[in-house]
């Protein structure tokens, strides 16, 4: 059976909460995706229907979400949608829920500053002595290598001295 993948673009409607469970840690939040349409009668954009969905983020994703996302933030969530069902005094209840694979700020609505989470260098296989393929962890917690060298130096090496292009605003 395959999962139903979905991408939801909307706003976080409550503060993300992080909980530890016997299966690991999970961060949950609710988001709303509201359709917008142009009303030709008023010559203005108006809100349409809203789709509310609960989002659950497990493991490292959940930790990063709990440190990065707040109520009101515009986000893009990619994951697998399912129906969460339970019994209540009013009878059988259900609501949609997304198990997130990725959560990101919606850069169409603002800017963000990205920082990689610090990681330790991968271990060298037992008995191996060559560590040249293992990237070194720099003082700022990033893995060393071509992608983490000084930006100007790495850019110049890649472009080979091409003229700079004007910035388009």
Q: Which two tokens stand for residue 32?
A: 């709303």
Q: Which CATH class is domain 4-105?
A: mainly beta
Burial class (CB in 10 A: 0-12, 13-18, 19+), 57: buried
Return mean pLDDT, the chain: 80
- pLDDT tens for each residue of 41-71: 999 999 999 999 999 999 999 999 999 999 9
pTM: 0.67
- Please tell me the least confidently modeled range out of 26-35, 46-55, 109-118: 109-118
Helix (H) or strand (E) holding 156: helix 151-159
The domains of the chain are located at 4-105, 116-160
User: How many angstroms separate the CA atoms of 59 and 64, rounded?
Assistant: 9
In this prediction, residue 121 carries a pLDDT of 61
Whether the CB-CB separation of 136 and 121 falls below 8 Å is answered with yes
**What is the C-alpha to C-alpha distance for residues 44 and 28, in angstroms, rounded to an integer?**
35
């Amino acid at each position: 059976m395959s999962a139903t993948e979905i991408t939801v673009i909307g706003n976080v409607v409550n503060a993300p909460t992080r909980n530890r469970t016997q299966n690991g840690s999970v961060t949950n939040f609710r988001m709303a995706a509201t359709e917008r349409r142009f009303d030709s009668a008023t010559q203005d954009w108006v809100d349409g229907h809203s789709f509310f969905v609960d989002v659950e983020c497990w493991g490292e994703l959940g930790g990063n979400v709990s440190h990065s996302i707040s109520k009101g933030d515009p986000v893009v969530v990619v994951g697998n949608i399912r129906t969460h069902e339970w019994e209540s005094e009013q009878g059988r209840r259900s609501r949609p829920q997304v198990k997130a694979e990725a959560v990101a700020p919606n850069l169409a609505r603002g800017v963000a500053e990205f920082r990689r989470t610090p990681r330790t260098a991968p271990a060298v296989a037992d008995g191996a002595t060559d560590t040249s393929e293992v990237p070194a962890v720099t003082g700022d917690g990033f893995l060393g290598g071509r992608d983490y060298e000084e930006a100007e130096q790495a850019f110049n090496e890649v472009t080979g001295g091409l003229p700079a292009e004007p910035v388009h605003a």
